[in-house]
Amino acid sequence: MRLPMNRRRFLRLFYIFLFLTVIPVVLHAQRSNGGDPLSLRIAGSINALFLPAPDVWVLMAEDNSREAGVPERMGISIPADFNILNSGEWLTSENGTRVWHLKLTAEGAIGLGLYFSHYQLEPGARLYVYSADKSHIIGAFTDANNAPGGLFATEVVKGDCIIIEYSGPAGSRERPPFEISSVLYVYRPMLFPGDARNTQGAGSCQVNTACPEGNEYRDEIRSVVRILIRNGLASYWCTGTIMNNSASDYTPYLLTADHCARSGNGNYSSPADVAQWIFYFLYESPECGGGTVLPNKTLTGAVKVASSTLTGNDGSDFYLLRLNDNIPPAYEPYYSGWDISGQLVSSGVSIHHPAGDVKKISTYTKPLTNSQWGSSPGTHFRVGWSQTVSGHGTTEGGSSGSPLLNSRGKVIGTLTGGESSCSNLTGFDFYGKLAYSWTSNGSDDTMRLKPWLDPLNTGLVELNGSYNALQVVARFKADTSVIAVGSSIGFTDLSIGNPNSWRWEFEGGEPASSNTANPGTVSYNRLGVYTVKLFVTNEYSADSLIREEYIHVVPEVFPNPSVSELFVYLGMESADPVTIHIYNSLGQIMFQRTGWQVGNRFEHIDCSAWPAGLYVVEVRNVVHSYTRKFLKTSR
């Protein structure tokens, strides 16, 4: 039987909100600031601009005919020229802010990504990108994402229809803050945050790094990243490794394969292309047998510092990058160690992203052999993979550039290619030797690893990996995240890395900010949901922790329990009209006041005639709803 509306509403309040539960969800990516697009609260539809979709069958046929040693193509870019003056439309949010939107549709796409030129946002401007169903949101991107040359790119957003939202600061200039120069059309299957692991990515024999095979390599797993390569209009998947160096200065060097930067026709990624490569950290499943994909953590842009060769592929096939940004502590980067002895070790693993899928691990238990890929002897290790408890890991397209590790977790090679697959478990793969990449590809520093990974010229044959011991990490705790209006919360700094400066920002709090390590108590005198920010620095680095909608300030109900009267305290100030309802255990409304403007801060309610029992007090304003329990007694 369908319950009456009032009772259904009460039961929903009574059972769901009996204990206040707060689960904020914010997807952070590419050094973004999080938050929600303003358009999520704007009524009305946005007209879509339709892009010409490429012929996927032609692309697939081209991929199938490509020779070995070419990276895994996953998408093609559609040229564009969009900005806030020549496309899109403007809407007004509920707070009066004018917001620009551009809705793009490319039929049949698995996902869409954006490449920007002339990206120069002003302070206070915010840019979001999200799927049409609003299930995948990235941003806010701000002036912190400005880079020399004005190039920027976003990770792929789910689906064949995405929305770009931009809001500028008051008095912003008329000049467009960015140009969307092309739109990446993804035609190969890929997983997005929250997606369940499916069978459309890597082969079924592959082994997730969460499986027992990864237990001895947990640190090294954190050093491996998925790379979204741009080369002209084509985009590819490859794998890379964050590398340590003898200066232990944690320069964000990333090692991958030279052929990852070279397309099927032999053209190399230009410096502008590399400035728009996207690096996915911690792109993995938390479960051995599947599970969902974790939220993306990405960085955009790098510069090439060295590679094995400028023509062909006759060397050891390495490509060393320096990321444009230091890697944030939240990405948990591990800087892998290396071994350049060239020994033919008998066991170890490779960690990689086959077909661009979540991170996998393949195991070898037989000695490596000397081999080559081109005509130069001794450039590569040959490896065969072994059956393990969770599967029989191999490699696939997208694994290119991944590290070959010895049993002590040190990088000894980078993947060029081979014949192994889930349908050819005994096929061999070939990894360019670090021992050859060190000095043997050429005499110039741009063709050797040694000047970059041993900048102190120590002559070390091997170096341990390390987490960044110099990096400051912002952390804090609050006494509670839910308080009655008019109360105070204590905040304690838990940052590590010996910070020497602090900046707290307490939205809705008094005081509103603090520059001390431990700011003590902060009072909240207005109903609402508020953000807390902490910025810390030490002599080497800076970090921030932003907890969106962290503090929930709710009405106070007293005395509780009560015999004859109760007061609902709504705070010292409010500009919003408030509605109060009180329900009994049957869902019946015992009291209501609609559209009441808070003035005297208290609502006095006579409950002397009510039966004893448990009641729910519901307070609503324009944005939020709050519930509190109230016990009425007979004496």
Catalytic residues: 259, 317, 400
CB atoms within 10 A of CB 472: 22
DSSP H or E run through 451: helix 450-453
Q: How far is CA 67 from CA 263, 356, 482, in A?
A: 11, 19, 60
Pairwise CA distance, residues 269 & 304, whole Å: 10
Question: Which residue type sits at 166?
Answer: Y
- Can you point out the beta strands (E) in 324-365? 334-335, 338-339, 348-352, 360-364
Pairwise CA distance, residues 392 & 424, whole Å: 10
- Which residue pairs, CB below 8 angstroms and at least 24 apart, start in 5-14? 6/587, 6/588, 6/589, 7/586, 7/587, 7/588, 8/587, 9/587, 10/583, 10/586, 10/587, 10/588, 10/616, 11/587, 13/583, 13/616, 13/618, 13/627, 14/583, 14/585, 14/587, 14/616
In the numeric block, which tokens belong to residue 98? Answer: 């004018």
Residue pair 280/297 in contact by the 8 Å Cβ criterion: yes
Residue pair 142/127 in contact by the 8 Å Cβ criterion: yes
Pairwise CA distance, residues 282 & 277, whole Å: 17
In the numeric block, which tokens belong to residue 553? Answer: 């300030």
Residue 215: CB partners within 8 Å, gap ≥ 6? Answer: none
Pairwise CA distance, residues 239 & 157, whole Å: 20
Q: How far is CA 584 from CA 19, 21, 140, 587, 634, in A?
A: 16, 21, 43, 5, 15
559 cis-preceded (ω within 30 degrees of 0): yes
CB atoms within 10 A of CB 417: 23
Pairwise CA distance, residues 347 & 31, whole Å: 37
561 cis-preceded (ω within 30 degrees of 0): yes
Pairwise CA distance, residues 414 & 226, whole Å: 14
The one-character DSSP state at 52 is P
In the numeric block, which tokens belong to residue 204? Answer: 């079924």
Pairwise CA distance, residues 166 & 189, whole Å: 29
**Helix, strand, coil share (%) of the chain residues, nearest 5:** 10, 40, 50
Report the phi/psi class of residue 520: left, alpha or beta, with left for phi > 0 and alpha for psi in -120 to 50: left
Count of alpha carbons within 13 Å of 498, Cβ hemisphere only? 4
